[in-house]
Amino acid sequence: MDKRPYALVTGASSGIGAAIVERLLRDGWRVTGISRRPGPFDHPAFDHLSLDLSDVDGIANAVAGIAPTALVHAAGMLKVGQLGSLDHDDGAAMWRLHVDVAERLADALAPRLPQGGRIVFIGSRTASGAAGRGQYAATKAALVALARSWAIELAPRGVTVNVVAPAATETPMLKDPTRANVAPKLPPIGRFIRPEEVAGAVAFLLSADAAAITGQQLVICGGSSL
């Protein structure tokens, strides 16, 4: 019987999700990565589950045979828009991917998580509000409310639920031309956050050393919140 810890990671093909997969594999985890495109990993402990998360009704069936020790929801998208010219379809798409998918995955997997299991959502520093990103910020703020609520429910089983919330991170999303009118701000440390730094925080929250940390949002912002 394989006793290695086992994580299910969404958004595994690029950006923060890929960095998390790479870090966990290096730390000795088994990983199933969810994404539409195959992840850039050739590793015996990695499996890819091809799944379009926008089809939320198919999520529960897709993960029915999976019993991980940890869930990491890193899949995300950013659509920007000023009040008065919002695209409501963009807002609905972000809510579906960030919040509805988190809800459905957690609802399906939480009953199967073992004692001491882990759930981590990738949020955003903008959850506290950001001009031109109101719809996006609202979805990331909702993740904090979900995490705190579920942390209370799952605490008796030793299962923790936390949010890792980075500021602008060096990912394909950062270079998306559709956000040209809402350019990311350089953090005071003089550079953007690196995906591997976010992955390191996630790895810590998944570890035994973080067993007493639950219902929290860890902001990685390079001083942007100061």
Q: Which positions are annotated as active-site residues?
A: 136
Dist CA 164 CA 71 (whole Å) = 13
Dist CA 153 CA 92 (whole Å) = 27
Residue with tokens 């926008």: 54
Both structure tokens of 170: 């060096």
Whether the CB-CB separation of 95 and 139 falls below 8 Å is answered with: yes
Whether the CB-CB separation of 73 and 67 falls below 8 Å is answered with: no
Dist CA 85 CA 167 (whole Å) = 25
CB crowding 38-72: b at 16 or more within 10 Å, else e: ebebeeeebebeebebeeeeebeebbeebebbbbb
